[in-house]
């Protein structure tokens, strides 16, 4: 189980502690469900990346979990930040992250979003379409530009294929020199500076050879750009995508080793094509924050269907973690109040939503007598859970609690029904 838990997770007298905080006590205090975030795990992953690439060139992809305190935490470690909407940008700015450390992504940035970024002085903008090049000219955006390329490599969990990625809403294809034309037009913008290229080849990547291939394709493109119009890239951004362990049979790759391998590929491929070696930027999200989080739920009901399966239902579900329903993502679970209790047959952990597909985990072993009141812990929920949360069935979103050295700090409060009702209006348009 240690491969999926935060670094500071310990079993103390049959109970789970994270960051020195007893999760059973925490659940009593703040209720459930609650997302618990271990600061030490986030920091150790950040330091691993920064041991290879200068911290300022590690852009935390805050889509994984975006809130003021997490942005502050990344900033305090010297990391930069990747934001991809006006909302993420506003959060980073509210956290006091200097605009020079921000990079703005998105396949459909609005004029309003680009204007806010321009006025705030956001340092880097990743260009995603020809329409956006026109928009940047019109709005006179003065930033460092990177052109997003789909290098024809699509990588997801343990395998990679070399064709599918062309069919993407993001970036410019290499086919028919479309990306080359984008570079030409971006280089001709009357303000700002074209700094280089960007590629993000997928998520939950364990197969590092996929990055080698992407780097080669980018180097080939840049060689063409140099020969055609003398452009030399100062920066190459290989996005995020590094995988983490969600289940007992997976191992989280070492971030330092992984990024070192990408840096070697950049050195090798650019040198081979007689190009100046650009600076490497990376945008990790999941691999920084995913393993730092666990979600604790309270078991409410257990339904045993003889000869079929047992449903263990908890007090959250697809509204706080959509990943199992959306992508068939797999998780582990165990009882935080009875660590080490012997495991019984496999059960299905379901949420409380009015939706049969609201299943968090299929076939996980829990103690045979699991029942109402038990505290279920689901690890590796730091990334892409809260940030993708909804209010389906009018369920308020859970809080996020940061733990460190025995101290628990709520960094996002639990939503309440009043919070949801605040935006409602009566039929006549009046407030409640």
Candidates 105, 124, 298, 397; binder of ligand PLP (CB under 6 A) is 105
Total residues contacting ligand PLP by CB under 6 A comes to 17
C-alpha–C-alpha distance, residues 149 and 129, integer Å? 10
C-alpha–C-alpha distance, residues 284 and 239, integer Å? 7
C-alpha–C-alpha distance, residues 190 and 228, integer Å? 20
Where does this chain touch ligand PLP (CB under 6 A) — which range of 268-276, 284-292, 329-337, 400-408?
284-292
C-alpha–C-alpha distance, residues 334 and 38, integer Å? 18
Where does this chain touch ligand PLP (CB under 6 A) — which range of 2-10, 17-25, 94-102, 281-289?
281-289
Candidates 217, 286, 298, 352; binder of ligand PLP (CB under 6 A) is 286
Cα dihedral 242, 248, 249, 254 in deg (nearest 10): 30
Candidates 34, 203, 258, 291; binder of ligand PLP (CB under 6 A) is 203
Asked if 283 is part of the footprint of ligand PLP (rule: CB under 6 A), the reply reads yes
Candidates 287, 295, 348, 385; binder of ligand PLP (CB under 6 A) is 287
Nearer to ligand PLP, 206 or 334 (CB): 206
Where does this chain touch ligand PLP (CB under 6 A) — which range of 36-44, 152-160, 277-285, 423-431?
277-285
Direct distance between the N- and C-terminal alpha carbons of the chain, in angstroms, rounded to an integer: 48
Closest alpha carbon to 21 in 334, 403, 410, 409:
403
Q: How many CB atoms lie within 10 A of CB 167?
A: 9
Nearer to ligand PLP, 101 or 338 (CB): 101
C-alpha–C-alpha distance, residues 256 and 47, integer Å? 9
Asked if 61 is part of the footprint of ligand PLP (rule: CB under 6 A), the reply reads yes
Please report the beta strands in 205-245, taking only residues with DSSP state E, as ranges in sequence order. 235-237
Candidates 64, 210, 360, 403; binder of ligand PLP (CB under 6 A) is 64
Least distance to ligand PLP, CB of residue 262, Å: 12
C-alpha–C-alpha distance, residues 179 and 397, integer Å? 41
Binding mask 206-245 for ligand PLP (x = CB under 6 A): ---------------------------------xxxx---
Least distance to ligand PLP, CB of residue 169, Å: 11
**What is the 8-class DSSP label of residue 279?**
E
Q: How many CB atoms lie within 10 A of CB 79?
A: 23
Hey, which residues between 378 and 407 contact ligand PLP (CB under 6 A)?
383
Candidates 200, 217, 323, 397; binder of ligand PLP (CB under 6 A) is 200
Hey, which residues between 240 and 269 contact ligand PLP (CB under 6 A)?
240-242
Please report the beta strands in 306-345, taking only residues with DSSP state E, as ranges in sequence order. 309-314, 334-335
Q: Which of 71, 84, 354, 377 is catalytic?
A: 354
Asked if 295 is part of the footprint of ligand PLP (rule: CB under 6 A), the reply reads no
CB 298 within 8 A of CB 16: no
Catalytic (active site) residue 62:
no
Where does this chain touch ligand PLP (CB under 6 A) — which range of 61-69, 111-119, 155-163, 401-409?
61-69
CB 151 within 8 A of CB 214: yes
C-alpha–C-alpha distance, residues 196 and 34, integer Å? 41
Candidates 284, 293, 324, 398; binder of ligand PLP (CB under 6 A) is 284
Nearer to ligand PLP, 9 or 58 (CB): 58
C-alpha–C-alpha distance, residues 310 and 424, integer Å? 38
Asked if 291 is part of the footprint of ligand PLP (rule: CB under 6 A), the reply reads no
Nearer to ligand PLP, 61 or 179 (CB): 61
Sheet architecture: strand order including 202-203: 159-161, 154-156, 202-203
138 sits in which H/E element = helix 130-139
Closest alpha carbon to 242 in 291, 195, 278:
291
Least distance to ligand PLP, CB of residue 183, Å: 18
Residues known to be catalytic: 354
Residues binding ligand PLP (CB under 6 A): 61, 63-64, 82, 105, 200, 203, 239-242, 283-287, 383
């Amino acid at each position: 189980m240690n491969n999926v838990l935060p670094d500071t997770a310990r079993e103390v007298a049959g109970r789970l502690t994270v960051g020195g905080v007893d999760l059973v006590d925490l659940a009593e205090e703040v209720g459930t469900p609650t997302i618990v975030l271990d600061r030490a795990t986030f920091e150790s992953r950040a330091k691993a990346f920064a041991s290879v690439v200068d911290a300022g060139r590690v852009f935390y992809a805050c889509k994984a979990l975006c809130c003021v305190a997490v942005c502050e935490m990344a900033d305090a470690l010297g990391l930069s930040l990747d934001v991809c909407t006006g909302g993420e940008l506003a959060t980073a700015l509210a956290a006091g992250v200097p605009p020079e450390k921000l990079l703005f992504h998105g396949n459909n940035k609005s004029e309003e979003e680009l204007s806010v970024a321009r006025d705030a002085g956001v340092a880097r903008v990743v260009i995603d379409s020809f329409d956006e090049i026109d928009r940047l000219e019109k709005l006179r955006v003065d930033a460092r530009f990177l052109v997003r390329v789909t290098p024809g490599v699509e990588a997801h969990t343990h395998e990679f294929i070399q064709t599918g990625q062309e069919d993407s809403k993001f970036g410019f294809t290499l086919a028919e020199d479309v990306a080359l034309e984008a570079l030409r037009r971006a280089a001709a913008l009357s303000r700002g500076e074209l700094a280089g290229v960007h590629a993000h080849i997928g998520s939950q990547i364990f197969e590092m050879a996929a990055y080698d291939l992407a780097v080669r394709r980018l180097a080939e493109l840049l060689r063409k750009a140099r020969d055609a119009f003398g452009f030399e890239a100062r920066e190459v951004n290989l996005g995020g995508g590094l995988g983490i362990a969600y289940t007992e049979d997976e191992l989280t790759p070492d971030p330092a080793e992984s990024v070192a391998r990408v840096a070697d590929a950049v050195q090798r491929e650019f040198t081979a094509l007689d190009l100046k070696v650009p600076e490497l930027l990376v945008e990790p999200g999941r691999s920084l924050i995913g393993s730092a989080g666990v979600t604790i739920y309270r078991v409410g009901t257990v339904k045993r269907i003889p000869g079929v399966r047992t449903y263990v239902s908890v007090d959250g579900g697809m509204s706080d973690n959509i990943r199992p329903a959306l992508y068939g993502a797999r998780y582990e679970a165990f009882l935080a109040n009875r660590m080490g209790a012997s495991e019984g047959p496999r059960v299905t952990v379901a949420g409380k939503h009015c939706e049969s597909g609201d299943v968090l985990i299929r076939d996980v072993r829990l103690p045979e007598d699991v029942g109402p009141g038990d505290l279920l812990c689901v690890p590796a929920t730091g990334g892409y859970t809260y940030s993708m949360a909804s209010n389906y069935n009018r369920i308020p979103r859970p809080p996020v609690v940061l733990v460190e050295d025995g101290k628990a700090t709520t960094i996002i409060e639990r939503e309440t029904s009043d919070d949801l009702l605040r935006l409602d209006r009566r039929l006549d348009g009046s407030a409640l």
